[in-house]
Amino acid sequence: MDGILLVNKPKFITSNDLVIKIKKHLNEKMGHTGTLDYAASGLMVLTVGQGTKITQYLQKLDKQYIAEGKLGEITDTYDSQGKIIETKPVEIDEEKLKEIIFSFVGEYLQTPPPYSSKRIGGTRAYKLAKKGVEVQLKPVLVKIYSIEILEINLPYFKIKVDCSSGTYIRSLIKDIGDKAGCGAYMTDLVRTKIGQFDLKDALSFEEILKKNPNQIKLISLKDALYFLPKIKLNQDYEKRFKHGQRLIVDCMESKDVKVLNEKHELIGIGEIKECVLKPKIVLARSEN
């Protein structure tokens, strides 16, 4: 089995446990393109078989989330799984809150939560935080493409967010609360899209474990790499590409490309630079 699998992660299971159980069920090499918090649900993209070779490309895709926040309380984890460390009165009206929420559209420097998978000196930040070590993470430039306000019922609010990879919605909710002057934490999170992949097309975790592995249809690697331009090679060039040789090709802007053979099968990924195609990933098995 080679390809990617769209999974609807349920709440209250770690992303790693989900991957381990599906991997055992399918008996295939497997990876993931980004975790979800323990209490979060929604779309995960798993890479299967040779799909693990393209994980790095899928990790960079933009994301969409639906999140709920609660004003007036701050937790140490920025979500409902943590301890409330501060309470403040909510003295803001609905219109002002809308203005604050929309002010985050665009690029901004965001500090990841102390309880996150970011590494500090080789150690995950959440492991240090659990030991009581003060965690100081560097702000990261993220991009919020759009925010849609779905509901406001103070002190609660619900938003749909389209954002760049690497954005922490927990931090966004906290930052909205800080700007509102009363703090906030995230009470619920659902990931609805990763690039063009949509939650509505995902299989539930339970459904996957019940199905015979042969009945589970994967998205092909060629389709998974929809965002890469393609180049087609003749038989001679195909053989040379598979042996890792650089090839002279038509000049184009320097970029990564998916490489197809004459049968339109995916044989790998290459980088074109100054009219030379350099193999980056070569698949052991050509894929339709």
Structural domain range at position 254: 228-287
In terms of domains, do 55 and 97 share one? Answer: no
In terms of domains, do 154 and 213 share one? Answer: no
Whether the bond between 113 and the residue before it is cis, its omega within 30 degrees of 0, is no
Domain stops at, among 149, 174, 194: 194
pLDDT band of residue 285 (cuts 50, 70, 90) is: confident
pLDDT of residue 51: 94
Q: How far is CA 93 from the centre of its chain?
A: 33
How many domains are there within the chain? 3
pLDDT band of residue 121 (cuts 50, 70, 90) is: low
pLDDT band of residue 252 (cuts 50, 70, 90) is: confident
pLDDT of residue 127: 58
Distance CA 18, CA 15 (A): 5
In terms of domains, do 92 and 105 share one? Answer: yes
CB 106 within 8 A of CB 163: no
Partners of residue 255 on adjacent β-strands: 272
Between residues 131 and 171, the one the model is more confident about: 171
Above 80 in pLDDT, residue 130?
no
pTM (two decimals): 0.90
In terms of domains, do 187 and 84 share one? Answer: yes
pLDDT of residue 176: 98
Q: From the CB of residue 139, how many other CB atoms can be counted at a distance below 10 Å?
A: 11
pLDDT of residue 284: 84
Residue (of 284, 277, 279, 261) closest to 269 by Cα position: 279
pLDDT of residue 218: 96
In terms of domains, do 97 and 16 share one? Answer: no
Domain at 250, CATH number: 2.30.130.10
Above 70 in pLDDT, residue 169?
yes
Provide the 3-class DSSP secondary structure of residue 224. Answer: helix
pLDDT tens column, 184-238: 999 999 999 999 999 999 999 999 999 999 999 999 999 999 999 999 999 999 9
Above 90 in pLDDT, residue 87?
yes
In terms of domains, do 189 and 118 share one? Answer: yes
CB 130 within 8 A of CB 120: no
Please provide the average confidence, as pLDDT, over all residues in the chain.
92
In terms of domains, do 182 and 236 share one? Answer: no
Strands (E), the chain: 3-9, 30-32, 41-48, 63-71, 73-75, 84-87, 106-110, 119-120, 123-124, 140-153, 156-163, 184-194, 197-198, 203-204, 230-232, 247-248, 255-260, 266-273, 276-287
In terms of domains, do 47 and 67 share one? Answer: no
Above 60 in pLDDT, residue 128?
no
pLDDT of residue 138: 81
Distance CA 57, CA 69 (A): 31
In terms of domains, do 30 and 78 share one? Answer: no
pLDDT of residue 41: 98
Q: At what angle do helices 94-102 and 169-180 cross, to 10 degrees?
A: 130
Above 90 in pLDDT, residue 288?
no
Above 70 in pLDDT, residue 125?
no
In terms of domains, do 103 and 127 share one? Answer: yes
pLDDT of residue 63: 98
In terms of domains, do 78 and 176 share one? Answer: yes
Active site residues: 37
In terms of domains, do 68 and 183 share one? Answer: yes
pLDDT band of residue 157 (cuts 50, 70, 90) is: very high
pLDDT of residue 251: 80
- Percent of the chain past pLDDT 90, that is, above it, reads 81
pLDDT of residue 230: 93
pLDDT tens column, 25-53: 999 999 999 999 999 999 999 999 999 99
Distance CA 17, CA 238 (A): 39
Domain stops at, among 222, 240, 264: 222
Cα distances (angstroms) measured from residue 57 to each of 152, 163, 208 = 36, 17, 24
Task: Scan for tokens 């927990």, then name that residue.
Answer: 170
pLDDT of residue 159: 99
Domain stops at, among 194, 212, 237: 194
Domain at 12, CATH number: 3.30.2350.10
Between residues 262 and 131, the one the model is more confident about: 262
